[in-house]
Amino acid sequence: MPDLRKAAIEFAHTNRDRFLEELSELIAIPSISADTAYRKDIQRAAEWLSEKLKGLGFENIQIMPTAGLPLVYGEYLKAGKDAQTMMVYGHYDVQPADPVEQWDSSPFEASIRGDRLYGRGATDMKGQVIASLAAVEAVLQSGGSSVNIKFFFEGEEEVGSTGLDAAIIENKELFAADFALNPDAGMLSATLPTITYALRGLAYFELHLSGPSHDLHSGLYGGTVLNPANELARLIGGMHDAEGRVLLPHFYDSVRELDDEERKDMARLPHDDTFITEQTGVEILHGEKGYSSAERASGRPTLDVNGLLSGYIGEGAKTVLPAKAMAKISCRLVADQDPEEVHKQLIEYVEENIHPSMTWEVILHSKAVASISEKDSKAIQAMSKAMKEIWSTDPIFRREGGTIPVVGYFQDLLGVESVLTGFGLPEDRMHSPNESLHLPTWEKGIDALIHFIYNVGE
């Protein structure tokens, strides 16, 4: 191993405890993007990152307002005009912590137990952000980087990155790069380094139904007017057939089918039924007929209710006929599906099926197209080599079921392809109570990122 590379790896090992302290500091800021009550914490997290970039010697550091929540940007351009430029992506926002009572330790106070560090954002993705910063610091402290580096941190990934596209369009020159590193995609297991070449898209809606002008006594009026909660349930119940297919009109018309090679690859993944049962606690799996669980988890579109609310939900029995009912409903999309089209399909479904006594509204909360990348680009090959160096095995190339809007935006708006990877594991409980980070994997991840930076600079 060349001396500089070796020195950088040693620097990372020596400073491991400080990196953990930095991660704990960042977790302690409850930067929840879904709830406006935490806007000051969003700002605090942005400032924390901007200070960190300053400490690394980055220049042109900015907290940039957007139509949504602010971006943090900083650049290291000392590799020179002829060198390649890498954009490192991260998001500093996190999911809400509720149900808070199900956490074994406080969600915003990092707690190390065994091999794991617990806290909201530990794996998704404050842990990954700190790993990227640590790898870059190690390289810069060991003689400097031969690639230019731009950090790009957004604050609204968990709510659909609504202000991101406009901000990218306005700053195309600033954000110009040869490729992007995006460590928000995770590994299949602690022994299987993973590069994700496809992501699902997302269309997230709220469906509101209103019937009576006010909540009614179910004894006096029950039987005379349609109950919006009953009707909402009926509408949702009709959105799937008995074989698990989504029944929005024309939903599958533009879906790109999985090809035979992909289906073969997926059959070799460790994501089999046993794995899913272990991760979810569900013994009998369910989904679209004709596809394996692994295929359904990443290569097929879905429709899921994310939230339901109507009437009286407190303790005991209130005999109310509710005036309104609400569902949060989202579709995961695959390549060639257009979220705006799915929005129209949902509206058409409601129009065709709802009882005429209801007034209703469909709100499109967020949207993102699915993405698919080339597997043999220089940057992806550099990551593949780095992973083999650390894990002594070739990485697995896979589709992922989640959504990262920025990947589509970088591709479409900047012409920048992302190397999608990351060091989170399926058992990390991202988005759930007791989210955690597997520390041995995280430490290997930092080493792999150091190798990656040297590999792309060669």
Chain residues 21-40 in contact with its own copies, contact rule CB under 8 A? 33-36
Candidate residues 130, 134, 187, 239; the one interacting with its own copies per rule CB under 8 A: 239
Residues 261-280 that bind its own copies (CB under 8 A): 276, 279-280
Residue 160 contacts its own copies per CB under 8 A: yes
Residue 286 contacts its own copies per CB under 8 A: yes
CB atoms within 10 A of CB 388: 15
Nearer to its own copies, 78 or 365 (CB): 365
Nearer to its own copies, 320 or 413 (CB): 320
CA distances from 116 to 111, 158, 208, 289, 425 (A): 8, 23, 41, 37, 11
Span from 103-111, 128-136, 318-326, 412-420 in contact with its own copies (CB under 8 A): 318-326
| Cα–Cα distance, 307 to 356 (Å, whole number) | 24
Nearer to its own copies, 74 or 211 (CB): 211
Strands 216-217 and 320-321: antiparallel
Which is nearest to 347 in space by CA: 220, 230, 203?
203
Residue 189 contacts its own copies per CB under 8 A: no
| Element at 277 (helix H, strand E) | helix 273-280
Closest separation between CB of residue 253 and its own copies, Å? 18
Residue 213 contacts its own copies per CB under 8 A: yes
Nearer to its own copies, 204 or 251 (CB): 204
Residues 328-387 that bind its own copies (CB under 8 A): 328, 330, 332, 355-357, 365-366
CA–centroid distance for 206 within its chain: 20
| Cα–Cα distance, 407 to 422 (Å, whole number) | 14
Closest separation between CB of residue 386 and its own copies, Å? 24
Closest separation between CB of residue 271 and its own copies, Å? 9
| Cα–Cα distance, 208 to 358 (Å, whole number) | 10
Task: Specify whether the CB–CB gap between 414 and 175 falls below 8 A.
Answer: yes
For residue 328, the cross-strand partners are 206, 307
Give the tokens for residue 412: 């479409």
Residue 393 contacts its own copies per CB under 8 A: no
Residue 314 contacts its own copies per CB under 8 A: yes
Closest separation between CB of residue 239 and its own copies, Å? 8
Candidate residues 2, 82, 223, 374; the one interacting with its own copies per rule CB under 8 A: 223
Residue 287 contacts its own copies per CB under 8 A: yes
Residue 297 contacts its own copies per CB under 8 A: yes
Which is nearest to 302 in space by CA: 328, 336, 258, 332?
332
Span from 79-87, 90-98, 108-116, 169-177 in contact with its own copies (CB under 8 A): 90-98
Closest separation between CB of residue 118 and its own copies, Å? 14
| Cα–Cα distance, 25 to 45 (Å, whole number) | 10
Q: Give the Cα-Cα-Cα angle 10, 14, 15 (nearest 5 degrees).
A: 120
List helix spans (H) across 392-426.
405-409
Candidate residues 132, 310, 345, 371; the one interacting with its own copies per rule CB under 8 A: 310
